[in-house]
């Protein structure tokens, strides 16, 4: 969306946060400020009359072109937001531009004439001034670090990736951000391992539960088999008793058979005696017939 408003500033870097807030209102300003502190703004090209930039928005990267010419501020952003007179992305870009230019503005402030004289005549004072400048520079780094750490804390709270590292020169402050990023990466790696281990533990628990079920089933089956074994054992004892009875009966039968054989022998002997007695009777009868006179 493209917009034009009249503007009293001569340079884009002179647009102070308070001025921007008074134009867009508290809500859009707050969102723009948040985007800036989350390091979502990339200024591609900037000078006093124009800024070309990109901002990581909610649904992608949006491009901005902001111009200040002849008292007219023209803002253009590729986002679909209907915020007026310009969107949160342009707010974020203006704030970032103001922040990155602010130290230069401080440095170019004219030094009062008497102070210059003191510097000329006192070299040790000059070195103090130089160290003060380097302290200013470090304050700027610390400011960037504080902005970054706020975004980082929010990202950690929401379990999101850390914002991009601020563009800092090599030194203590930069090493802090790098150390924090390393710690975060190590934490994420250990967190991943912990989750994998937890998943494996869950699988093991399921496996143990399945094995326990199988064991309970097998124990139940073993109990059934034990009952069946007792029944078969009982039947076997009954069969054993029957076999023993049978053996007694067989013995008795054999004894009867022996007795029968004895009786048979006796009968045969008696038969032979009867046969010889019959023969004797026949002979007696024949003798009697011969001795008896024939009838007349
Ligand atoms: Zn926008």
Cα 80 to averaged position of ligand 1 atoms, centre (Å): 7
Cα 63 to averaged position of ligand 1 atoms, centre (Å): 8
Cα 30 to averaged position of ligand 1 atoms, centre (Å): 14
Give 232-270 pLDDT, tens digit per residue: 999 999 999 999 999 999 999 999 999 999 999 999 999
Cα 77 to averaged position of ligand 1 atoms, centre (Å): 5
d(CA 91, CA 24): 8
Cα 175 to averaged position of ligand 1 atoms, centre (Å): 33
* pLDDT at 119 exceeding the cut of 60: no
Cα 140 to averaged position of ligand 1 atoms, centre (Å): 27
Cα 28 to averaged position of ligand 1 atoms, centre (Å): 11
Cα 151 to averaged position of ligand 1 atoms, centre (Å): 20
Confidence class for position 296, pLDDT limits 50, 70, 90? low
* pLDDT at 118 exceeding the cut of 70: no
Q: What is the pLDDT of residue 123?
A: 41
Distances (CA, A) of 188 to 100, 134, 165, 193, 233: 32, 36, 17, 9, 66
Cβ atoms within 10 Å of 48's Cβ, excluding its own? 13
Find the mean pLDDT for residues 197-224: 94
Q: What is the pLDDT of residue 103?
A: 59
Tokens of 280: 């004797």
d(CA 277, CA 258): 29
List strands edge to edge, sheet with 2-6. Answer: 2-6, 72-77, 60-69, 50-57, 41-46
In this structure, are residues 35 and 116 in contact, taking their beta carbons and an 8 Å threshold?
no
Confidence class for position 158, pLDDT limits 50, 70, 90? confident
Cα 162 to averaged position of ligand 1 atoms, centre (Å): 23
Q: What is the pLDDT of residue 104?
A: 53
* pLDDT at 59 exceeding the cut of 70: yes
Find the mean pLDDT for residues 7-25: 90
Cα 43 to averaged position of ligand 1 atoms, centre (Å): 14
Average pLDDT, the chain: 85
Give 165-195 pLDDT, tens digit per residue: 888 877 778 888 888 888 888 888 888 889 9
Cα 199 to averaged position of ligand 1 atoms, centre (Å): 43
pTM check: above 0.85: no
Cα 85 to averaged position of ligand 1 atoms, centre (Å): 11
Lowest mean pLDDT, pick from 153-157, 175-179, 201-205? 175-179
Q: What is the pLDDT of residue 3?
A: 86
In this structure, are residues 149 and 133 in contact, taking their beta carbons and an 8 Å threshold?
no
Cα 64 to averaged position of ligand 1 atoms, centre (Å): 7
Cα 57 to averaged position of ligand 1 atoms, centre (Å): 8
Residue 64: which H helix or E strand, with range?
A: strand 60-69
Cα 164 to averaged position of ligand 1 atoms, centre (Å): 20
**Of 75, 63, 70, which Cα lies nearest the Cα of 24?**
75
- Percentage of the chain beyond pLDDT 70 is 88
Residue 33, classed as helix, strand or coil, is helix
């Amino acid at each position: 969306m493209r917009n034009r408003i009249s503007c009293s500033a001569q340079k884009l870097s002179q647009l102070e946060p308070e001025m921007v807030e008074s134009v867009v209102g508290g809500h859009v300003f707050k969102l723009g400020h948040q985007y800036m502190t989350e390091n979502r703004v990339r200024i591609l090209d900037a000078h006093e009359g124009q800024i070309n930039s990109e901002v990581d928005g909610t649904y992608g990267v949006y491009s901005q072109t902001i111009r200040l010419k002849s008292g007219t501020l023209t803002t253009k952003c590729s986002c679909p937001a209907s915020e007026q007179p310009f969107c949160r992305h342009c707010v974020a870009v203006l704030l970032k531009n103001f922040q990155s230019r602010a130290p230069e503005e401080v440095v170019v402030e004219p030094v009062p004439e008497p102070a210059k004289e003191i510097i000329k005549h006192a070299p040790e004072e000059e070195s103090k001034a130089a160290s003060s400048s380097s302290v200013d520079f470090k304050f700027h780094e610390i400011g960037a670090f504080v902005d970054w750490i706020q975004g980082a804390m929010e990202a950690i709270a929401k379990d999101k990736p850390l914002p991009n590292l601020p563009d800092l020169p090599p030194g203590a402050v930069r090493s802090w951000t790098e150390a924090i990023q390393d710690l975060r990466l190590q934490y994420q790696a250990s967190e991943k391992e912990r989750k994998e281990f937890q998943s494996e533990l869950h699988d093991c628990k399921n496996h143990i539960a399945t094995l326990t079920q199988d064991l309970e089933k097998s124990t139940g089956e073993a109990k059934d088999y034990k009952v069946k074994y007792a029944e078969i054992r009982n039947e076997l004892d009954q069969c054993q008793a029957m076999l023993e009875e049978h053996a007694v009966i067989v013995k008795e039968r054999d004894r009867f058979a022996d007795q029968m054989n004895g009786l048979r022998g006796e009968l045969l002997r008696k038969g032979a005696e009867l046969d010889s007695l019959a023969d004797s009777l026949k002979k007696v009868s024949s003798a009697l017939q011969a001795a008896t006179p024939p009838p007349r």
